[in-house]
Structure 1
Amino acid sequence: MELPITISPRRLTGILSLVVLGLTLASLAGSLSTLYLHPGTDLLKQVQKSYIRLFYVDWEANIPTWYQASTLLFCSIILATIARGKRARQDPYVWHWAALAVIFLAMSIDEEAIIHEMAIKPLRQAFHMGGLLYYAWVVPGAAAVLLFALAYLRFLWSLPPRTRLLFVVAGIIYVGGALGVEAVSGLWADRHGENNLVYMMISTVEELMEMIGIIVFIHTLLDYTGRHMGKVTLHVDAVGPHDAATALEICNGIVPEGGEAAEVPRRR
C-alpha cells in the first residue's frame, strides 16, 4: 500500500508563518500584561501567571519551546530522507546530509531539554563572563558554528545556486538570532535585569529570528527535494500479520509514470 503525501513548500511555509505570528503575539501580550496589568484577585493573578508560563517565548518547557523542538525534528526527518535518497543514488555528500540530520535531531532534543542552558552559570562563574558574554553558552556556540561552516564549505558550494542561497539566508537568520541577538540580550540583562520591556522585546526578536530561520530552512529542504530528488512516497509493505516493514522512500526518477517502484538498496 502506498500513501502519497503531498507537501507544498509554499503552503507549509505560510502555515508555519501564521503559527509563528500567533505565538509571537501571544508572548508579547503576556509580557506586556506583566508590566501594565495588575490583576486585583488571586485567581486573575494565577491566570496571568499561567498564561505567561505557557506562551512567553523566552521561557523553556512551554508551547513555543515545543513548537521549535518539533520544527527542528521535522528538519531532521527531511534531512534523513534526503540522505537515504542520496545513498540510493550513490550521490556524493551522503554523510554530510546524514550528519545534518543528526545535528538537527540533537538541536531538537536540546531545545526541549534545555541542555545548553545548563552551561550558562558554570561558564559564567568559571570565566567571570559578563556583558555580551553574560549568557556564556554563546562562546562554545560560536565556536561550533565556525567549525560547522568550515566543515561544510565544500558541501555548500556543491548545492544548486537557489538552494545554496536559501541555506545561507536561513543560517544567517537563525544564527543571528540564536547568537547575535542573544549576546545583545545578555548585555542588557547584565546591566538592567530581565524584568523590563526592553529585555522582553530583545528576547522576542531573538526567538522570532530563530523560528523564521527554521521556516526558511524547511522551505529550502522541501524545495530542494521537489526540484532535485523527485517524488517522496510512504510505502507500507505488510508481509504478514506479525511482519510489517515501513519505509520512507525517495523515488528519484526510479518510479516511471504508471510504473512500479524499483527496490531501494538496503544496508546489509
Structure 2
Amino acid sequence: MSVLLGIVAVLTFLSLAGQVARFHLGLPNALGLVPFFYVDLENNLPTWYQTLALAFASVLLAGLAVAARHMRAPFAGRWLALSLLFVFLSLDEAASIHEATMEPLQRVVGYLPGVWQPVWVILGIAAVVAFAAAFLRFLLYLPRDDRWQVFWAAALFVGGAIGVEMATAALYTTSDPSYKVSFTYALLAHAEELLEMLGVVVLIDFLLRRLSRTASFSVTVAS
C-alpha cells in the first residue's frame, strides 16, 4: 500500500506543480510536462496509472472469485461481479465512457442547474444506490474490519467521482468550457482525482490482504 500511496502522492504533486506553473508562472505547457501530468486531462500519466490500478483491482477480485468458488465459499458470484465492474471502471477511466451519456441525458431532461449540471451524476447516483442494495448482504458477510475498509474505499471513490463533481457544478456553469480555466477549478479537479485514486489504493490493500489470508487458509486446509 505504501508504494501505491507514494505513486499517488508523486502524481498529485507533479500535477499541482504544473498548474502552479500554468497559472502563476506563465508556463501553460512547459515542454508538454504540464498537460502530461495534469490529473484532469485524458491520455496522460495519471490516467494511465488509474487505468492500471483499476485493472489490477479487477484481477485481484477475479482471484478472490476463483478462490471462493474453489473453496465453495459463499458469494463467489459477487466477487466475480465486482471484478467485471472494475473492468468497466478501468475502461471508463481510459475512454471516459460516462461522459458519453451527457448529451443523450440532456436531450431527455434538458438543462439542470446547480449540482445537477453534469447530468451523468444522476445515473451515477442511481448506480451507487442499486449497487449498495445488491451487495448489502455481501458486505455484511465480510468481517467487521474488512467491511469498514471496503466502505471507506467506496466512500473515497464515490465522494471524488460524484461528490466533488457536484460541488464543482455548484460553483461553475459547466456548460461553458471556460470554467476549467482557473486555478480554483484545478484545485477541485485535484481533490476529485486524489479521492478516487486513494479509494482504489484502499481497496487494493484490502484485496491483497484478503487474498493473502485466503491463500494461507487454502494451504492449511490442503495440509
Q: Same fold (TM over 0.5)?
A: yes
Of residues 145-154 and 132-141 in structure 1, the stretch that sits farther from structure 2 once superposed is 132-141
Match of 1:130 in 2: 113
**1:217-250 deviations in whole A, cap 9, x for unaligned?**
00011112223x124xxxxxxxxxxxxxxxxxx9
Picking from 230, 245, 264, the partner of 2:215 is: 230
Match of 1:149 in 2: 132
**Does residue 109 of structure 1 match 2:91?**
yes
Residues 73 and 108, structure 1, Cα contact 8 Å, conserved in 2? yes
CA distance in 2, matches of 1:122, 1:66: 27
- Structure with greater proportional strand content: 1
CA gap 1:84/1:173 in 2 versus in 1, 3 angstroms: same
Counterparts of 1:219-258 in structure 2 under 5 Å? 219-227=205-213, 229-231=214-216, 251-256=218-223
Query: Could you tell me how far 1:52 is from its partner in structure 2?
Result: 2.0
**Does residue 27 of structure 1 match 2:39?**
no
Unpaired segments ≥5 residues, structure 1: 1-12, 40-44, 232-249, 257-268
| Matched letter for residue 172 of structure 2 | A
Unpaired segments ≥5 residues, structure 2: none
**1:110-153 deviations in whole A, cap 9, x for unaligned?**
11111112222443454212321222211101100000000000
**Does residue 118 of structure 1 match 2:100?**
yes
Picking from 191, 195, 201, the partner of 2:187 is: 201
Query: Could you tell me how far 1:255 is from its partner in structure 2?
Result: 4.2
Residues 124 and 130, structure 1, Cα contact 8 Å, conserved in 2? no
Match of 1:247 in 2: none
| Matched letter for residue 42 of structure 2 | E
- Structure with greater proportional helix content: 2
Match of 2:156 in 1: 173
CA distance in 1, matches of 2:126, 2:86: 17
Counterparts of 1:49-128 in structure 2 under 5 Å? 50-124=32-106, 126=108, 127-128=110-111
CA distance in 2, matches of 1:211, 1:143: 22
Query: Could you tell me how far 1:60 is from its partner in structure 2?
Result: 1.2
Query: Could you tell me how far 1:53 is from its partner in structure 2?
Result: 1.8
Q: Which has the larger radius of gyration?
A: 1
Match of 1:164 in 2: 147
Query: Could you tell me how far 1:49 is from its partner in structure 2?
Result: 6.2
Identity among equivalent positions (%) equals: 36
Residues 61 and 112, structure 1, Cα contact 8 Å, conserved in 2? yes
Question: What count of residue pairs does the alignment treat as equivalent?
Answer: 219
| Matched letter for residue 31 of structure 1 | Q
